[in-house]
Amino acid sequence: MAKNTNENKRIAVKHVRDRAKSAYEKDTQCYVCGTSQDLELHHTHSVTILLNEWAARTGYDISTDEGILAVRDEFIEAHRKEIYDDVYTLCNKHHVKLHSIYGKAPTASSAPKQAVWLANQRARFVNGETNTAEETIKSTGFSFAKFY
Ligand SMILES: [Zn+2]
Ligand SMILES: [Zn+2]
C-alpha cells in the first residue's frame, strides 16, 4: 500500500498533466524573448499546490494511481482557468529564471507578481535586446521540464 509521500504526489500531478496536455494551446515562441527553441509551459499557479489543496479539501485519496485516475477529470474541470488560461509559454532560459525568483512551486499569491515580472522582462526585449541568434526552428519540442 502506497504511502502519501511526495513521490506519490509527484505521480498524481503527472497523471493530471498527461490528461490535460492535449488541450493546451501552446505558443510557438517564448512570451519574453520570442525564441522558438526549448519551449516549456509555465503555470502561474503551481498545479502541484492546487492539486494537493483540492485533495485536502475534498478528502480524495490521490496517493495511488487508481485514486488520482478516478478524480483527475474532476480536478481539471474545477481548475480550467488555472490549468489552461493562466499559463505562459517560455523558453527554458526564462522558465528557469522565473523559478529561480519565485521558487520551484510558486505559491498562488505570487501569481500576479509573476505576471508583472514576465511583462517587464518582455518589455525589455521588445525595447532593446533582439532575438538574433536563434532564428532557426530546430525543435519546438514541448515539455514541462522539472518544474511543478
Ligand atoms: Zn525566452
Ligand atoms: Zn514553471
- Rounded to the nearest angstrom, the distance between the alpha carbon of 1 and the centre of ligand 2 is 31
Quick check: 99 pLDDT over 90? Answer: yes
Least confident of 15-19, 22-26, 105-109, 129-133: 129-133
- Rounded to the nearest angstrom, the distance between the alpha carbon of 34 and the centre of ligand 1 is 6
- Rounded to the nearest angstrom, the distance between the alpha carbon of 96 and the centre of ligand 2 is 8
- Rounded to the nearest angstrom, the distance between the alpha carbon of 121 and the centre of ligand 1 is 9
For position 78, what pLDDT does the model report?
A: 96
Its pTM stands at 0.75
| pLDDT tens for each residue of 22-74 | 788 778 999 999 999 999 999 999 999 999 999 999 999 999 999 999 999 99
Beta bridge partners of residue 39, listed in sequence order: 91, 142
For position 106, what pLDDT does the model report?
A: 87
Question: How crowded is residue 94: how many other Cβ atoms within 10 Å of its Cβ?
Answer: 24
DSSP 42: E
Beta bridge partners of residue 146, listed in sequence order: none
Q: C-alpha grid cell for residue 93?
A: 532560459
For position 12, what pLDDT does the model report?
A: 92
- Rounded to the nearest angstrom, the distance between the alpha carbon of 42 and the centre of ligand 1 is 12
- Rounded to the nearest angstrom, the distance between the alpha carbon of 5 and the centre of ligand 1 is 34
Domain ranges (residues) in the chain: 9-140
- Rounded to the nearest angstrom, the distance between the alpha carbon of 130 and the centre of ligand 2 is 23
- Rounded distance between C-alpha atoms, residue 148 and residue 125, angstroms: 26
